[in-house]
């Protein structure tokens, strides 16, 4: 069975409570349930991590090949714009990676317009709320089933 690592970055554990006008009212647990349902119907196993700590995310990416992870679906959240370490970990693993964001980062504050992850990811889905995650999962499934 193929295995995909799902990474939720900092503050995503607060979904449903924080800035509802930007991120909506869906909780992280609800997003994970939707992802697990979609993955199960595709015969895919998910490993899900949420961390507010950059090093935890870097470690998870670095261990992905040893854990037989075939793809990564990641919302790096604020680390999108700041983490060279996460960017380098993605590049080093050479595993198909899709970056997702609930909001359209290019329609927000200017500092959010730059993604350090996008140049090393296979693609990016942003601005569709929870659907960004589901579209991103579809994309990584297609990448590993090529």
81 assigned to active site: no
> Which listed residue (8, 23, 79, 133) is catalytic?
23
CA dist., res. 113 & res. 125, Å (int): 14
DSSP state of 80: G
Handedness of CA 73, 78, 108, 130 (dihedral sign): positive
Query: From the candidates 8, 79, 101, 133, which is the catalytic residue?
Result: 101
CB 132 within 8 A of CB 99: no
Respond yes or no: is residue 101 known to be catalytic: yes
User: Rounded to whole angstroms, what are the CA distances from 61 to 92, 93, 128?
Assistant: 9, 7, 25
Annotated catalytic residues are: 23, 101
């Amino acid at each position: 069975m193929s295995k995909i690592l799902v990474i939720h970055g900092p503050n995503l554990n607060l979904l449903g409570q924080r800035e509802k006008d930007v991120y909506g009212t869906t909780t992280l647990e609800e997003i994970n349930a939707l992802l697990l349902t979609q993955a199960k119907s595709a015969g895919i196993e998910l490993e899900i991590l949420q961390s507010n700590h950059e090093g935890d995310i870097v470690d998870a990416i670095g261990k992905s090949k040893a854990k037989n992870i075939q793809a990564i679906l990641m919302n790096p959240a604020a680390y999108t714009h700041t983490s060279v370490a996460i960017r380098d970990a993605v590049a080093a693993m050479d595993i198909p990676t899709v970056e997702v964001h609930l909001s359209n980062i290019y329609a927000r504050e200017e500092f959010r317009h730059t993604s350090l992850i996008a140049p090393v990811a296979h693609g990016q889905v942003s601005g569709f709320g929870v659907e960004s995650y589901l579209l991103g999962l579809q994309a990584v499934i297609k990448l590993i089933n090529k």
